[in-house]
Structure 1
């Protein structure tokens, strides 16, 4: 078994296509999104449910193109986004005296995670209130401002993108790599010759599977390491978070390899493997929340998105990496992946062929 694993692993490291598809594509996406960073010039701000949205101050802030007003979001979600730096500030506007001489109490709630845009927010806010001061109170201020800063972690583009690209790299490598490998071994009768030797059939499959797992584990280490040290990808608990992400990668890879076993057995010839593999990988690439949060999809499409195994692996990686949760905290995601694994390997055992 270890001889098969060693030979297969050596062959993968010597294969340019295997290296490019495992490391090349994910690294390109990570580099692109890592350099993009947070280059937006607009400042996302929210307002509490009790804010006076009929006030002239609110309307003046709303009309400012430098501010992006967050709408239709629950207070809990807005608070969470503010602590992650997605929302720069949450304002509460209380009317103290109405027109024609309006006066407002403004409470501005921010977090340390939004430090990159908070200065821009204050610049916009001060310009807006100064203009209104000139209009209503030439020698006084319209707003009585109170501030409240809470601790938080900045949620960057790379924190969202990297777990998605890492999970999709595991999916595509497991499905395409396993399907092509075992189909080729079957077509060249190598698998049949293995079967004729004293080695157990399970060891043959395990040897090939372990080699692919080690190869992908190497790729995962490179991707996470580059994201963390080059672009500041968040690993909340440091090395322990890194190890937990690797455990999830191995778990996801084992399950995704089951799809490859099924395809390699169903394919009639080599040209039918890519369409079958794309039928499994492409919907998940588009709908599993790699580039856009699942909540952004239409309501009728979200149940489909949440039924895909890749969605749960991506969610688990993000929760462990940024939110600091542990493996026992992502039991739902691991449970759904386990159900997918049981189902797909039941099919794989049923259809697997040695020749």
Structure 2
């Protein structure tokens, strides 16, 4: 009789039952579907994102104290100066990540206008260009009134034809973050509550009375969780694409790569869940333990805001978190046009997190 027992069939039976149970759980549906979709809808309809205008300067720009326009522009709270190489700045410009690449050159003859300002823009940044132009004109007018009231204008603005670019919409930033939010919530809360309840309700003990091996129990429950979250990812991506125009650079190929990346992220995050379920003494201790892992990542991993907006001393901590690298990889694949093979750094760090998490999970996980 025992020779005819199939571990695989038993595992698939567990997966099927667990899959049905997940859909019957209000908390699973809310955390995996409702919360991310609510945030996507809110940010999608807002669409405008932050009013901050990001700009860069060429290497030859005069940034000395003599250049009054530069000094005044750097003080504006709505202006954020991005410091990168000129090649990186041009790349960001073509993708709408900065509004303009500015070149400020003094007039060699020392006659008015004293400075020539050239604004290199792209078709991806036209929505913020008006804000930048208005800011520069206000600065120049104020300088003219104060320093040279009877002379021609202090600086002249030149606007060359914009370079071609791809518009970086608010949904292109927020959707990968919310997908990561959903995966992290499911991996931590879902797995922690699942295995704790299986122990408390003596379901695992009943499993042990059958010939199924323990590893197949884990695989069976894990498969159901993975399938559910992949369905969640598909729904989120499709709504983002067809309702809000979420960018999938390579179409179906990008869509499939995002699903594969979601699978990798979920497997890593499930390690947090196994640790929490092993440490929790009762059901009321699961949320505090789980929030220790999830809350810092929700706030600091670039889920809602770019890491660049945080203080510089905090950014290295942000870049340690696994959700940060999952979000970065998703945005690179969806908008930048990268492929999984180009995300070696992010995948490598996620892999290291996975190894560390499951090493701890093996030590603390309890069957009874």
Moved more, 109-118 or 165-174: 109-118
Residue equivalent to 2:12 = 2
Cα distance between partner residues in 2 of 1:60 and 1:257:
50
Moved more, 308-317 or 118-127: 118-127
Residue equivalent to 1:160 = 173
Residue equivalent to 1:92 = 103
Residue equivalent to 2:305 = 292
Of residues 23, 31, 47, the one that matches 2:33 is: 23
Cα distance between partner residues in 2 of 1:142 and 1:331:
46
Superposed, 1:198-347 pairs within 5 Å as: 198-347=211-360
1:91–1:72: structure 2 CA closer, same or farther, 3 Å change rule?
Answer: closer
Deviation at 1:90, TM superposition (A): 2.3
Residue equivalent to 2:47 = 37
Cα distance between partner residues in 1 of 2:157 and 2:304:
41
Number of paired residues? 352
**Contact 1:111/1:151 (8 A) holds in 2:** yes
> Gapped runs of 5+ residues in structure 1?
none
Give the secondary structure class of the aligned counterpart of 1:322.
helix
Deviation at 1:152, TM superposition (A): 1.9
**Contact 2:117/2:155 (8 A) holds in 1:** no
Cα distance between partner residues in 1 of 2:171 and 2:277:
34
Residue equivalent to 1:147 = 160
CA distances 1:271-297 after superposition (whole Å, capped 9, x unpaired)? 111111111111111221212222333
Cα distance between partner residues in 2 of 1:71 and 1:144:
18
1:95–1:212: structure 2 CA closer, same or farther, 3 Å change rule?
Answer: same
Matched, 1:110 2:132: no
Matched, 1:183 2:202: no
Give the TM-score taking structure 1 as reference length: 0.87
Cα distance between partner residues in 2 of 1:144 and 1:21:
50
Superposed, 1:49-88 pairs within 5 Å as: 49-52=59-62, 58=69, 62=73, 68-71=78-81, 73-76=83-86, 77-88=88-99
Cα distance between partner residues in 2 of 1:210 and 1:105:
63
Deviation at 1:148, TM superposition (A): 4.4
Give the TM-score taking structure 2 as reference length: 0.84
Cα distance between partner residues in 2 of 1:163 and 1:143:
41
> Gapped runs of 5+ residues in structure 2?
1-10
Deviation at 1:309, TM superposition (A): 1.4
Give the secondary structure class of the aligned counterpart of 1:147.
coil
Give the secondary structure class of the aligned counterpart of 1:91.
strand
Deviation at 1:106, TM superposition (A): 3.6
CA distances 1:126-179 after superposition (whole Å, capped 9, x unpaired)? 8988997996459xx974735142222222222122111111211111111111
Deviation at 1:22, TM superposition (A): 0.8
CA distances 1:72-103 after superposition (whole Å, capped 9, x unpaired)? 62343543432222322223233336666436
1:72–1:320: structure 2 CA closer, same or farther, 3 Å change rule?
Answer: closer
Residue equivalent to 2:58 = 48
**Contact 1:97/1:104 (8 A) holds in 2:** no
Deviation at 1:346, TM superposition (A): 1.9
Cα distance between partner residues in 2 of 1:142 and 1:261:
63
Matched, 1:170 2:183: yes
Cα distance between partner residues in 2 of 1:57 and 1:238:
47
Deviation at 1:208, TM superposition (A): 0.8
Cα distance between partner residues in 1 of 2:116 and 2:346:
44
1:105–1:320: structure 2 CA closer, same or farther, 3 Å change rule?
Answer: same
